[in-house]
């Protein structure tokens, strides 16, 4: 008993001292998965499930799909963090990431990413369905290999084709409910595909010097503000047009139609504002590209919320 009494304060003190370190390590591994990106991906998953169900899907299925999606996106982002650690070190925006600071080692990050990949694939296959598992694994490969390794450092169109990985949650959400991939899911896939460039290029414009220093050929590094602005406007118009294709394809009602038109008009207006600012000779902060970046997040959130709510409102467009 004396030994127990004597060691308890020491043990307690040691445990207390270790807690901040343990929390820090946990936080570092969580940071590898880039939670803010995951949040955006999940915003496009759940509404598609409502549309596929034409009502409220099983809440257990929604939760199970979200768990799989979090694991899958976390795996892809972890591999990205490992491979990009050299250029992240050069950019102010990313210089505090765990792979740069050394909070997480390369080997343990790879093991972590591999474990998340296996966990997400097995989870989808056993709990949701095999098609969702295949799509999830494909999404990881597209982001970790297609975008991160093959495209990002080689072409200014990196985010266009690399952005396909970010479109996959629309297919995964639909397949989770139906076990198939159908036209409405493909239309929403294309909405995200055309949304990605005007979402990401304004961010790249704001951090152009970072990307230039790291020698990453983002479009704003390779081309001037006017050329980038034209591309942003073009993709914005195509994105809005594609969002309206969902109306006849999925039989959407007034709620979705009105939301897509109004939110799309604001998006296009903001894209044209950016182009006008570029044509007037404004550069750097004067362009205010982050206005469009932030609105693009609002846009996708609002439109996909309408995707979920429209089937519940029973307001046919006739």
Is the pLDDT score of 83 beyond 80? yes
Average pLDDT over residues 115-127: 98
Fold of 182-318: 1.20.120
CATH superfamily of the 28-180 domain: UbiA prenyltransferase (1.10.357.140)
Q: pTM to 2 decimals?
A: 0.91
pLDDT, residue 316, reads 55
Residues of CATH 1.10.357.140 domain(s) within the chain? 28-180
Between 4-18, 128-142, 150-164, 239-253, the lowest mean confidence (pLDDT) is in 4-18
Three-class SS state of 316: coil
- Measured distance CA(268)–CA(250) in Å, rounded: 24
> What is the number of other CB atoms lying within 10 angstroms of the CB of residue 13?
10
Average pLDDT score over residue span 65-84: 96
pLDDT of residue 41: 79
Which DSSP string corresponds to 190-204?
A: HHHHHHHHHHHHHHH
- Distance in Å from the first CA to the final CA of the chain: 82
With CA atoms as reference, report the closest residue to 159 among 207, 209, 194. Answer: 194
CA-nearest of 239, 240, 230 to 274 is: 230
Long-range contacts of 237-243 (CB under 8 A, 24+ apart): 237/268, 238/194, 239/191, 239/194, 239/195, 239/198, 239/264, 239/267, 240/264, 240/265, 240/267, 240/268, 242/187, 242/190, 242/191, 242/194, 243/191, 243/303
Q: Where in the chain is the domain with CATH 1.20.120?
A: 182-318
Q: For the segment 283-303, what is each residue's pLDDT rounded down to a tens digit? A: 767 789 999 999 999 999 999
- Average confidence (pLDDT) over 19-34: 83
């Amino acid at each position: 008993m004396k030994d127990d009494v004597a060691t308890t304060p020491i043990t307690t003190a040691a445990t207390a001292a270790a807690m901040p370190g343990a929390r820090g390590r946990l936080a570092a591994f969580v940071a590898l998965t880039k939670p803010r990106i995951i949040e955006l991906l999940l915003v496009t998953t759940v509404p598609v499930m409502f549309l596929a169900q034409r009502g409220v899907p099983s809440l257990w299925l929604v939760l199970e799909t979200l768990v799989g999606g979090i694991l899958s996106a976390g795996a892809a982002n972890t591999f990205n963090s490992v491979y990009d650690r050299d250029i992240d070190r050069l950019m102010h925006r990313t210089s505090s990431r765990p792979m740069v600071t050394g909070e997480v080692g390369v080997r343990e990050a790879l093991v972590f990413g591999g474990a998340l990949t296996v966990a997400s694939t097995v989870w989808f296959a056993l709990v949701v369905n095999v098609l969702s598992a295949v799509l999830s694994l494909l999404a990881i490969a597209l982001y970790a290999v297609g975008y991160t390794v093959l495209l990002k450092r080689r072409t200014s169109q990196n985010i266009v084709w690399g952005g396909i990985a970010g479109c996959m949650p629309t297919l995964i959400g639909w397949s989770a409910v139906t076990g198939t991939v159908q036209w409405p899911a493909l239309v929403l896939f294309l909405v995200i595909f055309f949304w990605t460039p005007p979402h990401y290029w304004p961010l790249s414009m704001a951090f152009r010097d970072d990307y230039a220093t790291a020698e990453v050929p983002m479009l704003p590094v390779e081309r001037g503000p006017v050329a980038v602005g034209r591309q942003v406007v073009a993709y914005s118009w195509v994105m809005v047009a594609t969002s309206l294709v969902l109306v006849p394809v999925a039989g959407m009602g007034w709620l979705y139609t009105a939301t897509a038109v109004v939110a799309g008009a604001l998006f296009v207006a903001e894209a044209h504002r950016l182009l006008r600012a570029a044509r007037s000779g404004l550069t750097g902060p004067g362009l205010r590209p982050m206005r469009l970046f932030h609105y693009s997040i609002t846009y996708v959130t609002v439109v996909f919320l309408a995707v979920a709510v429209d089937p519940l409102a029973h307001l046919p467009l006739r």
